[in-house]
Amino acid sequence: MKVITKNILNLLYLTIFISMVSSCSDSDSPSSQDSNATAEWKTSSSVGSDEVSTGILLKGDAGTQYSATISQGASFSSFDYYTSKSAKLGVLKEGDNVIYIYCKANATADPRNVVVDITFGDAAPQQLTLVQKSVSQEILPVFSAWPELPAEKVSTDYQYATHYVTVNGKKIRSYSLCFDKNNKAALWVAYPMHAVYDGSVGRSDEWGFDPYITQTNQANCVSRSYGGNYDRGHQIPSADRDATFEMNAQTFYMSNMTPQLDRLNQDMWAKLETKVRNNICSDTLYVVTGAYFGAGATTTTDGAGNIVAIPTNYFKILLRTKSGNSGKSIALCSDSELISIGFWVDHKAYGNIEPPTTICTSVADIEAKTGFSFFPGVSAAVKSQNTPSVWGVQ
Do 232 and 350 reside in the same domain of the chain?
yes
Task: Classify burial at 70, counting beta carbons within 10 Å of its beta carbon; exposed 0-12, middle 13-18, buried 19 or more.
Answer: buried
Do 289 and 276 reside in the same domain of the chain?
yes
Do 47 and 147 reside in the same domain of the chain?
no
Do 150 and 264 reside in the same domain of the chain?
yes
**What is the pairing mode between strands 170-180 and 185-193?**
antiparallel
CATH of the domain at 231: 3.40.570.10
Dump strand ranges (E) for the chain.
38-41, 46-47, 52-59, 65-70, 74-75, 87-91, 97-103, 112-120, 126-132, 158-167, 170-180, 185-193, 230-234, 257-261, 285-292, 299-301, 307-309, 313-321, 338-346, 360-361
| In-domain check, residue 104 | yes
pLDDT at position 207: 97
Do 219 and 316 reside in the same domain of the chain?
yes
| In-domain check, residue 20 | no
Do 284 and 324 reside in the same domain of the chain?
yes
- Residue where a domain stops, chosen among 82, 105, 133: 133
- Residue where a domain stops, chosen among 83, 110, 133: 133
Domain containing 261 equals 138-394
Do 170 and 106 reside in the same domain of the chain?
no
Do 77 and 148 reside in the same domain of the chain?
no
CA distances from 20 to 16, 34, 109, 188, 235 (A): 6, 19, 44, 55, 51
Do 213 and 145 reside in the same domain of the chain?
yes
Q: Please list the ranges in the chain whose pLDDT falls under 70.
A: 1-35, 78-85, 135-137
Do 161 and 73 reside in the same domain of the chain?
no
- Residue where a domain stops, chosen among 92, 112, 133: 133
In this structure, the number of other CB atoms found within 10 A of the CB of residue 367 comes to 20
Does this model's pTM top 0.85? My answer is no
**What is the tally of structural domains in the chain?**
2
Do 99 and 146 reside in the same domain of the chain?
no
CATH of the domain at 78: 2.60.40.10
Torsional class of 79: left (φ above 0), alpha (ψ -120 to 50), beta (otherwise)? alpha
Q: Cα 321 to chain center, whole Å?
A: 25
